[in-house]
Amino acid sequence: MTDTLTLRIDLDSSIPAGRQIVDGLRILLVSGKLSPGSELPSVRRMAMDLGVHFNTVAEAYRTLADEGWLHLHHGRAARVVCRDAPNPTMDQMDEFGHRLRALIAEMLAKGIPAAKLQDDMRVAAEELES
Amino acid sequence: MKAEVAMLILPLVFVAVIFQFTPLITRRGIFFSATVDPEFPHSADGRRVLRSYRWQAALWAILAIGLQLVLSPRHPLTAILPMLLMIAGSALSYWLKFREVHTHYGQRRPEIRQAELSVPPARERFNAWLWIPPFAALALTAAYLQLHWNQLPERFPVHWGADGQPNRWSSREPLTVFAPVVIGAGMNLVMLGLAWLFSQLSRNTIMRRITVRLLEVLLYPLTLTFIIVALLPLGLVVPVWLIPAIILTCVAGLIFWSYRQIVAPAIADAVPEPQSDSYWKAGMFYYNPNDPAIFVAKRVGIGYTVNFANKMCWLVLAGILLLGLLPAALGVLAAKK
């Protein structure tokens, strides 16, 4: 078996493909699986593998570059850069709090118990911070 | 039966046999290009569908052979009309079976897409030890012809009829003497070019590995054929059936090897192709406007097809057609000299 790093998206999902690419890559970046100095596949190659439009991948790369994760240079591969943890603003914290409440409400509405949510959040945070 | 007619019927029989086995050369979970339960082809319904298709394909083959026998060997359409009838008829039968399987027994798989994040991306490695010898053999043949130039007759045959008798002659000139070597090298370059295109413009699947290796290995029977043809003016005597036998044996062997690779249950694609049956028009033509890929692994059979929704595919098809016709045009030019 190969230990090649992969990115998976679900084209049947209601979440747009571009958003899934950003989320998937961000998880790998935060967890350190994609470390500074690593290069990402070209927009063309990534789009072909995922079966999505070039612009979808290009936009996802730009989003991550705006967040400070990637350095983009025309004609060269996107490169992961060293990024200092930013200080979140109050607005950002409010926004994430709102999104989290909305997500928890949706999960509770589907019958997922709160205790499981707490466990899942703790495990995910530990995995990503390690 | 005249040898001429027999030589026209043989390709029909060969293609008819291929049509009989085509539905079997497919991945597990695919049947007549439709996504099904992996065990469905072995079920009673699966066997019934296959049997029905085979009878229909056999009927088209019998009709085509009948037409071949009715048409005069001199008729301009004799060489293509029966073959076209058989291909179109069998394709129609295949399409009807695709619809039946997709409608009544089809399954839907989630459209999970996967990309490799390794850089550089995994590409097929071209084995120089595999593709250099055919070119070296052609170069040696050219050198041998040059060294024995004086032994070449002033006039020699360059085309043979179905009865094995020469029907076109040419004079001893560099263009005609070296034409088989040059055409052979050109054909080899086309094969390698195709293999390179697939390695660059397709997803990392088992089909890509098979197709690239297959194209590399096919250089050998091709090269041997052109070397034999190039040495004929020097008095090399070969039976008329030898070259078709070499090519058919190699093709049959490669198809069997590819079949074993494709149906192996343990093999998973590193980057799978899109799953939905809706992208496969009539079960044969891939049309997916959201997919930027130009080449897509065929669902049935060996090799690649193009994404007809991608405008670039027409450019690629025209390029392949031109490259394919170039050696033939050179051959005609050389024969006219």
Closest CA to B112 of A10, A48, A5, A17: A10
B118 chain-A contacts, CB cut-off 8 A:
4-5, 41
Comparing alpha-carbon positions, the chain A residue that sits nearest to B202 is A48
- Cβ atoms of residues B147 and B132 within 8 Å: no
Q: In this predicted complex, what is the ipTM?
A: 0.79
E strands in A38-128? 70-71, 79-80
- Cβ atoms of residues A24 and A35 within 8 Å: no
- Flag if B117 and A28 touch (Cβ within 8 Å): yes
Closest CA to B94 of B324, B231, B320, B299: B299
Structure confidence at residue B164 as a pLDDT band (50, 70, 90): low
Tell me, what's the pLDDT at B162?
63
Structure confidence at residue A1 as a pLDDT band (50, 70, 90): very low
Structure confidence at residue B336 as a pLDDT band (50, 70, 90): low
Question: Mean of the pLDDT values across residues B7-35?
Answer: 89
Looking at per-residue confidence, does A118 or A18 come out higher?
A: A18
Burial pattern B294-311, b for ≥16 Cβ within 10 A else e, equals bbbbbbbbbebbbbbbbe
Residue A2 pLDDT > 50: no
Comparing alpha-carbon positions, the chain B residue that sits nearest to A47 is B292
pLDDT of A46-81, one tens digit each?
Answer: 999 999 999 999 999 999 999 999 999 887 888 999
Out of A41, A50, A52, closest to residue B121 by CB: A41
SS3 B229: helix
Question: Mean of the pLDDT values across residues B163-182?
Answer: 82
Tell me, what's the pLDDT at B259?
85
Tell me, what's the pLDDT at B110?
86
pLDDT of B182-196, one tens digit each?
Answer: 989 988 988 888 888
Tell me, what's the pLDDT at A102?
92
Question: Mean of the pLDDT values across residues B268-279?
Answer: 84
Structure confidence at residue B163 as a pLDDT band (50, 70, 90): low
pLDDT averaged over every residue in chain B: 86
Structure confidence at residue B56 as a pLDDT band (50, 70, 90): very high
pLDDT of B206-222, one tens digit each?
Answer: 888 889 888 888 899 99
Out of B110, B117, B203, closest to residue A40 by CB: B117
pLDDT of B76-109, one tens digit each?
Answer: 677 788 999 999 999 999 999 999 999 999 998 8
Structure confidence at residue B305 as a pLDDT band (50, 70, 90): very high
Question: Mean of the pLDDT values across residues B122-131?
Answer: 75
Question: How many A×B Cβ pairs under 8 Å?
Answer: 77
pLDDT of B236-264, one tens digit each?
Answer: 777 777 888 888 888 888 888 888 888 77
B201 chain-A contacts, CB cut-off 8 A:
48
What is the percent of chain A with per-residue pLDDT over 70, rounded to a whole number?
97
Residue B22's contacts (CB-CB under 8 Å, 6 or more residues apart) are: B94, B300, B301
pTM exceeds 0.90 for this model: no
Closest CA to A48 of B205, B27, B276: B205
Question: Which of B108, B118, B286 has the highest number of chain A CBs within 10 A, making it the mutation to test binding with A?
Answer: B118
Residue B44 pLDDT > 90: yes
What is the percent of chain B with per-residue pLDDT over 90, rounded to a whole number?
35
B218 phi-psi bin (left φ>0, alpha ψ -120 to 50, beta other): alpha
Tell me, what's the pLDDT at B224?
92
Residue B337 pLDDT > 90: no
Tell me, what's the pLDDT at B3?
67
